[in-house]
Amino acid sequence: MNELSWIILGITLGIIASILDPRLSEGGILGGMFVGTVGAFIGGVVANLLLEGNIITSHPVAVVLAGAGAISLLLIRKAERYF
């Protein structure tokens, strides 16, 4: 269930980011959804590694860090367009 929450969070943040800044990714909303989902999954896995838990258990901090990972990856994607 935890991975599903990461995916939903990543998709949601990707859609919101793409609507707020259409220049965020060249792939439009679908590109934003993909980047957000990948970032959320990376953030969630890192959170579980730091919390010494397994991926199956649901931990609120893991969901928060998954959101932070999604936002970070979306911002990195936006910043790389300028370099």
Inter-CA distances, 21 with 10, 60, 83, Å? 16, 28, 18
pTM of the model: 0.74
80 C-beta neighbours (distance < 10 Å), count: 8
Distance CA 78, CA 45 (A): 23
Ranges of H-type helices in the chain? 2-20, 28-50, 60-80
pLDDT (tens digit, 0 to 9) for every residue of the chain, 83 residues total? 567 877 888 888 888 877 777 765 567 778 878 888 888 888 877 877 887 766 555 667 777 777 888 888 877 877 776 76
